[in-house]
Structure 1
Amino acid sequence: MIVPQNKTPHEMLHLSDIDDQESLRIQMPLLMFYKYNSSMEGKDPAKIIKDGLSNTLVLYYPLAGRIVEGPNRKLMVNCNSEGIMFIEADANVELEKLGDSIIPPCPYIEELLYNEPGSDGIIGCTLMLVQGLELDDLDLDFYLQDSRDLELVLESGGLDLDRFELECMNS
């Protein structure tokens, strides 16, 4: 688990009525592929991501909490600093060999992404799971929870995603 680098407020935040809609109570996978960048030579991309996320979670501390359900099924974020999950893995495959199959709907999504036990819903689960998967022809690819807005959150915590030459695909 990656936790905030510094102490953060412990509080309960109510979600807006828009965010509390039943149809939005889902997890949304996102595949982001990062090509090898020579400026990263000799550096551990997983450590850079972990450190950047830990720093980011200080500013965006609700992401380190858990969704809980209150009276009348009202959703809240328990800002408890439990952290987000980070998983590293290797795959003996080249992205090029997967071809267009990674374009949604991706038939390999179940093989590429880790399924956190007990995460069928959103209650009590980590709000973000980051999976670093090293492919034969790529440095790391990451599974994150959102798209460009998430990139901005990560960059605000000092994580320079431009150094990873981002290619983003929603899955």
Structure 2
Amino acid sequence: MVEVLESCFVVPSDETPKGRLWLSNFNQVAPRGFSGHVNFYNKTEATSFFSIEVVKASLAKALVLYYPLAGRCIVGSDGRIELECNAEGCFFVRAQLERTFDSINFQPSQELEELFIPSVQTLHSYCS
């Protein structure tokens, strides 16, 4: 069983530019959806193998330089998709499995990845 130990938003560690960025014409017609990334690590015997706080602090520093990744997609008044740079951050989840990947014949797959990527409900309003 997978146990979620923590979920939070990691925000940029310093001030970032605010405002909206237009997306390309390609992005206007591309399928929309949640873009997630999942990393799996085997636990080692070393107690200093992996500091989750270092990972989150590093992500927070990276989001200063790559600040659009900490924003949100919105639909502008003209109907175009725009990126609102608002420093709301990236969703971060830490989970554990009390078995080794070898013991469960672990094979990465799209189905498994979808278990770790949270579903996002989108509301659309067509009222003026």
Name the TM-score class by shorter chain.
0.7 to 0.9
CA drift of 1:10 comes to: 0.4
- Residue matched to 2:109: 104
Give distance in 2, aligned partners of 1:97 and 1:91.
Answer: 11
Percent identity at matched positions? 26
Aligned residues: 116
For the residue of structure 1 that corresponds to 2:14, the secondary structure is coil
CA drift of 1:16 comes to: 0.5
CA drift of 1:105 comes to: 4.3
For the residue of structure 2 that corresponds to 1:54, the secondary structure is helix
Give distance in 2, aligned partners of 1:28 and 1:61.
Answer: 16
Give distance in 2, aligned partners of 1:32 and 1:90.
Answer: 12
Unaligned runs of 5+ in 2: 1-8
Give distance in 2, aligned partners of 1:71 and 1:13.
Answer: 13
CA drift of 1:75 comes to: 0.8
Contact kept, 8 Å, 2:12 with 2:67, in 1: the verdict is yes
Residue 16, structure 1, aligned to residue 24, structure 2: yes
CA drift of 1:67 comes to: 0.4
1:70-149 pair list within 5 angstroms: 70-99=76-105, 102-106=107-111, 108-111=112-115, 113-116=116-119, 119-120=120-121
For the residue of structure 2 that corresponds to 1:34, the secondary structure is coil
The superposition leaves residues 93-152 of structure 1 with CA deviations (integer Å, 9 ceiling, x where unpaired) of: 22113325x33344x4454x1424xx145x9xxxxxxxxxxxxxxxxxxxxxxxxxxxxx
- Residue matched to 1:32: 39
Contact kept, 8 Å, 2:73 with 2:83, in 1: the verdict is yes
Work out which structure has the larger RCO, using CA pairs closer than 8 Å and 6 or more positions apart in sequence: 2
Distance 1:97 1:37, change over 3 A: closer
Give distance in 2, aligned partners of 1:80 and 1:11.
Answer: 7
CA drift of 1:26 comes to: 2.1
The TM-score with structure 2 as length reference comes to 0.72
For the residue of structure 2 that corresponds to 1:18, the secondary structure is helix
Residue 68, structure 1, aligned to residue 74, structure 2: yes
Between structures 1 and 2, the one with greater helix share: 1
Unaligned runs of 5+ in 1: 124-171
Give distance in 2, aligned partners of 1:99 and 1:28.
Answer: 26
Distance 1:19 1:105, change over 3 A: same
Runs of 4 or more above 3 Å deviation: 28-31, 35-38, 108-111
Residue type at the aligned position of 2:118: N
Give distance in 1, aligned partners of 2:50 and 2:110.
Answer: 31
Give distance in 2, aligned partners of 1:28 and 1:7.
Answer: 24
